[in-house]
Each structure stands twice: as C-alpha cells, then as structure tokens.
A and B are shown apart, each in its own frame.
Chain A
Amino acid sequence: MDRKVSFLPRRRVLSAGLGLAGGLALPAYVRQALAADDNGHPPIGTWPEGVKGKEVFIGVAVPRTGTYAEQGEDELKGWQLAVEHINSGNELIRKISPKTKKGVQGKELKLVVADSAAKPNDAVQAEQRFITENKVILMTGSTSSAVAVAMNKLAQREKVLYVTGISGSNDTTGKDCVRYGFRQNFYGETAANAIGPVLLKAYGKGKKMAFMTPDYTYGHTVTKSTSEYLKEHGGWQMVTNQVSPLGATDYSSYLTNIANSGAEVLLNVNWGRDAVLSTQQAKQFGVIPKMKLVIPYQIPFLAKNIGAELAEGVYAATDFWWTLEDKYPLAKTFVDAFRKKYGYYPEWGAENAYMSFAMWADAVENAGTFYPPDVIKSYEAGRKLQSMVGEVYFRKEDHQLVRPVVIVRGKAPKAMRNKEDFWEVTEIVPGAGLMQKPDAFGCKLGEYT
C-alpha cells in the first residue's frame, strides 16, 4: 500500500506567486501570448501540461483492501479494459464514442492506480499526488459515495475532471454536485423509483418494513428515497432503521432489534462485505426467510457470496446485469470481451467503469480538445449516447446520466443456466421518469474556470 503524503510543493506556490506578480506587470497581449495554447486559453488545472506528451495519465483511487475491495477490483478491471480498448480503437468503444480512432486526441491513455480502502482521505491524498506528479487529466475511483463527494470537491478545487466510480448517494449529483464531476451510474432516488412499484406489486400495500443502513451519505439517501416512495405510494410503514458503521462485522444487536420489530420486509442497504455479512447473519438469526429480503442498491458479487439459495426471490435494483446481452448488442460485445480477458462475467461496477471512460473519450473527441471547460460543455451538450442499456444522455443541470435502472430477481438455484447466472432481469425501467427535478436535491454546479 502506498501511503505517501503529497504536499503542495512550496516551490510551485512560489513560482506561481512570482508568475502572478510578473503577469500583472506585463501588458495584457503579452500575457496572453505567454500563457496561451493553440486555442488561446490560459492554463487550468493540469492542462495543458498534462497533455503535452504522447501519453496522458488518468488517476484511479479505488478500494483494493477493506470492506469494498472485491467490488473495487471489478471496477478496476472495467477501467483497464476501457483503456485498452480506447488505445487500440476497439470497435466497442467506437460504437459509444464514434469519433474515437486510437487513444484520445491521438494520445495514449495510461492509468495510475492507488488503493483508497474506500476512505475519503486516502483517495484525496492519492489523487492529489497524481495531479502533482503525473499531471493526470482525468480522475476516477470511489466505491463509496463518501469518497465520491470528497473527490468531487477535489476536482472542482483543482479543476481536473472526475468521473465517479460506484456512487449511490443522491448527494453526488445533488447537493454535493460540481461542475467538474460526472456520474454514469444509477443512485438512491432512481433506484427507489424503479424498484418501488415492483415491490408494491409483489408484496402489496400497507407492509411493515425494516431497513439496515450504513452510516454515511450513500446509506442515508438510499434509505430515505426508498422508504419515502414505499410510504407515499403503498402506505408502507418503517418500523425500524438499523444504522451501522461502514465495516461493521457483527450485526447481532441490529438483527435482534429487527427480529423484534414485527417487520415483514427487510431492505438491506449495506454494501460490499457489510452486505454479505449482514445478510448471512440475518439468515442465522432467522430474520430471513421470515422477512422478505430486498436489496435497493445492488452489490456486485452479493449472490456469489451469500449463495443462490439466499438470493432466490430477492428483488434488487441495479445498473447492469450480464444477461442484458440478450437484449443489447453492445452489452454482448462488452461481456464477451470482459470474459475473454478476465474469465468471469462482469458485474455492474465494471460496466460503470468501462462506460464512464468511453463517455469521457466521446466528450473529449467532440470537444476536440482536453481543455476542461470545453470538455465539460461537450458533456453538457446532451448528446444521445449508445450504451449497454440503450440510449442515454447526460443532464446538463446536475451532470447525472439519464439512464435506465434494471430490476433483477434472484433465480432459483435449479433455474440457473451456469454458475454465474444468479439474477433474472424482470424490468428495464427508462431513466427519464425516475429522476428528481434537477434542482430538487440542491445541486449548484459551480464555475467552469
């Protein structure tokens, strides 16, 4: 694990100060000529320094240890495959980003990777170092919305673009949204609005529900969106909400409360290993199958870890599941390429990672430059993009991708076609109707420069 702390180099601050003083003394046209690039823009963030060579760097801070490590590795594979495809001008990338030839603007992409352990501090430190040392032109990573929100702030401060990894909190493109941040994947509100009607149809009205919620922005917003939908539309009553710290291992006291709550449906918002442990322990305590288990925000590898028996009949909202290959040709190409390289079916973390890079490549190629404000405007143009779940586009007001949410249900073990065929896609809910109004969660994007 690399935990090198990077400080803002004093010399750079000094020279920047000198430059500023000198700049003020020069006539405006001289200043323009000194600082300008081909388009006449003054330098911003790592631009144009980061794009001067043959290669451009992308900084990845992803959890490779800790509670979210397994999901982090899956994401990393998605990014690696995307970089490989972009650099070679692969056919799949060209379907998503039609102007791509080889690389991005003719530059080869290189990843620099650090372990974030899903901790905001670690992620920000690592990316800060990548900005200083590698002049990264794009940042990504997060398997926790706490990290995504912290990275958003870093991106806006440093004026370096950030595309989120997995981040399910409403806040990421809500109250903590930034001009320099973009999110591909689904989130609490869209998940709730997609799975809500399915749950009401399957289980009826007026049910008692219990929640297990991890104690940070992701957990709280997902629980809020989901419980409010079920309460408003189905008269469901939340009888208990068990909030636990990220990385908890023993859920006995929470489950004891749930067992005594009289709930009929258990909505488990815990994520990563926390979701695996809390679900396994819920079974040990007899809470499942007495209560129906629902996963409002899907966890990659959940079914593999808890076993198909436990996942059977469980409804979950997700970004992607590999059997969508039967419906979407791009999904099929992706799943095949991923399997060939890594030997297993990609989870939604890998899909999200791959798509977020492909869309960034598209935004840059359409802007015709790496100059960040132009790339942002290119994203904001709202072009229709082809994805593995059909046509999608970015909403310019909050930088959230408008995309479908996929509802899956756990298959019975004997109905599985292969050992990774855990989920059956029951619905693909179009994205536009699932989203809140752009300003409903208090998003103010901030400045371009």
Chain B
Amino acid sequence: MITWANFGSQLFNGLALGALLALIASGLTIIYGTLGVLNLAHGAMFMLGGYAGYLAWQSSGSFLLGVAAGTLALGVLGIVMERLVIRYFYARPHEDQLLVTFGLAIVFVELVRWYFSSDSKTVQAPALLQGITNMGFMFYPTYRLAVVGICAVALLVLFLVLYRTRLGMIVRAGIEDSVMVDSLGINIDRVFMVVFGIGAMAAGFAGFINAPIVSLAPEIGEQILVQTFVVVVIGGVGSFPGAVLGGLIAGEIISLTSMVNPGYAYVMLFAAMTLVLMIRPRGLLGAKGRE
C-alpha cells in the first residue's frame, strides 16, 4: 500500500529496526575483525543478555538494573568464553571456529530452555516509556522511539571507545594487522579478551533492550543472528561504520519492501546482500584484505 503517509511511516520504522540491528552487528563485526573468529554464538548471547536482564528486572522491578545485568553478565560471560574456549581456536581453521561457536550457541539455547522453559517471557517497558507517541505523520510506540535514541547513544559510546581511546586504537590496528601490533610489544592476547568482552556486552545490552519489543524466547537469537550476518556482510566485515550503515540499510529494506509486498521483505534483504557480494565482495565499507 504505497501512500506518502505510509512511506514516511515505513521510512521511520526502517530507521528504528536498523538502529537495533546496527548495535547487534557492531559487536559481531568487531569480534570478527579483531580476532578473526566468526562468532556463531552471537545470537545466543543476544538471547542470554535478554534473560540475564529479565532475572534482574523481575527480582528488582528496575528496568535500569535489568539493562546493567544483561550487559555486565554478558561481558563476564564473554571474557570467560574467550579464556576457556575461544582463544584456543585463534590459530585453528575457520571451520573449527564455526563449529565450536555453533556448539556453544546450542548449549546456551538448551540451558535457557531447560531453566526457563520454551514459553516466552515478557518484559514491560519502564512506565515512563509505555504508551504511544503521536509524531504527526504517524503514531509510534514510545518505547520503540526511545530504543532508537538508546541505540544511537550506545553506538556513540562504542564509537568513542574505538576511535578516541588508546584501547580503540589498538583494536583498530589489530583489525588491520594483529601480527604487527603484537610485534610492537602490545599484549594482543589481553586485547583480544577485552574485545570479545566488549562485543559480548553489546550483544547482551541489545538483548535486554529488545526484550520489551518482542518478548523473550530461547529461539530469538537464531533469527537475529541471520539478520545480523546480512548486516555485517552488507556493511563490510570488520568495519564498525559498516555495521551501522549495513544495519540502517537492512532496516529500510525490510520496511520499505513490506510496504509493497510484505512477503518479499526478507527475500529483498538477501537479494541486496547477494548484490553487494557480487559488486563489492568486501562489503560497502570493508577494507581490502580484511575478509
């Protein structure tokens, strides 16, 4: 149904969808760029962040505590994962990395299913952000509006860490050439651990922020993982700005296609990814040699 009113609404909705995708994808892309590990457990970690936050939110009633718990718990989990499992796989073939992270994802999902059951869990948005906002051209759920802002702030924080701190400089240098960084006398091993922790925190944060929108279920990670991969591929593997751009493009493709025919929304997303892979295999903002 193509009208100007609907076009404007879908354009905005695409932005909101894209902001969240960008946030999740940024964690995935930083980890891959720096460590060279394609983390197939990223979706499951997104889901775990939601459940960790849910536990804290449910026992305290505080949404902010939920956000903190989801983020910190996943930061800790990320570091533990990296120390116990992931670091032994840096030197091994990509297939091994895929298998081990995929295996971890299955373990996480089944643990959650065992502890929380398959039924979905609902998280209420904070009272202040419940209800609907009249934006003039459309009505939009207040919480989703806030999520756009929250994601923007979170992405900004990530940007500052990556581009305005010494750690960020090392990480970015590591993305370009980790052997060189190591030979410059920087403890790349510890940097890797921190990067994995940061990536996990981004996933955990997004996981809880997303919970009031779609509610929690053990499977939510699987779906988001596929979309996140598309975002990373479109934006360019290992590129933080690429993840943001890719997220927004993916959000707009889903929204605007659905205006014409909702059945094709995801088809178009994958068509776009194929197109990017054919014309520019390293992604829109990916640097050469990184993939």
Contacts and interface: CB of A to CB of B under 8 A. Distances in A.
B138 A259 contact: yes
Contacts of B266: 245
B254 interface: yes
Contacts of A439: none
A32 interface: no
B214 interface: yes
Contacts of A1: 110
Interface in A218-262: 239-240, 242-245, 247, 249-250, 252-254, 256-257, 259-261
B118 A286 contact: no
Contacts of A305: 120
A376 interface: no
A249 B220 contact: yes
Interface residues of B, number: 39
Interface string A312-353: 000000000000000000000000000000000000000000
Of B17, B258, B266, which is in contact with the most chain A CB atoms at under 10 Å from its CB? B258
Contact of B132 (A67, A260, A285): A285
Contacts of B218: 65
A243 B5 contact: no
B259 interface: yes
Nearest to B4: A260
A257 B259 contact: yes
Interface in B248-287: 254-255, 258-259, 262-263, 265-266
Contact of B258 (A65, A73, A253): A253
Given A253-B17, A253-B255, A284 B138 contact: no
B113 interface: yes
Contacts, number: 95
B88 interface: no
A215 interface: yes
Contacts of A242: 258, 262
A276 interface: yes
Contacts of B13: 252-253, 256
Given A243-B263, A250-B214, A277-B215, A286 B132 contact: yes
A260 B6 contact: yes
B46 to A, nearest CB: 12
Given A249-B214, A250-B17, A257 B258 contact: yes
A366 B110 CA distance: 45
B223 A256 contact: no
B114 to A, nearest CB: 11
A91 interface: no
B124 to A, nearest CB: 11
A273 interface: yes
A64 interface: yes
Interface in A62-85: 64-67, 69-70, 73
Nearest to B223: A249
Given A259-B139, A284-B141, A253 B118 contact: no
Given A66-B219, A245-B266, A250-B214, A286 B139 contact: yes
A260 B1 contact: yes
A363 B218 CA distance: 40
Size range of the interface on A? 35 or more
Interface string B192-220: 00000000000000000000011101111
Interface in B50-79: none
A247 B219 contact: yes
Contacts of A69: 118-119
Contacts of A105: none
A276 B263 contact: no
A280 interface: yes
Contacts of A243: 262-263
A219 B53 CA distance: 34
A247 B223 contact: yes
Contacts of A215: 263
Contacts of A273: 120, 217
The 5 closest A-B pairs by CB, nearest first: A69-B118, A260-B6, A284-B141, A253-B258, A249-B214
30 contacts: A1-B110, A65-B113, A65-B118, A66-B219, A243-B263, A247-B219, A250-B214, A252-B13, A252-B16, A252-B17, A253-B10, A253-B265, A254-B262, A256-B138, A256-B255, A256-B258, A257-B1, A257-B6, A257-B258, A257-B259, A260-B138, A261-B1, A276-B120, A280-B215, A284-B132, A284-B143, A285-B132, A285-B139, A286-B139, A305-B120
Interface of B: 1, 3, 5-6, 9-10, 13-14, 16-17, 110, 113, 118-120, 122, 132, 138-141, 143-144, 213-215, 217-220, 223, 254-255, 258-259, 262-263, 265-266
Interface of A: 1, 64-67, 69-70, 73, 215, 239-240, 242-245, 247, 249-250, 252-254, 256-257, 259-261, 273, 276-277, 280-281, 284-286, 305
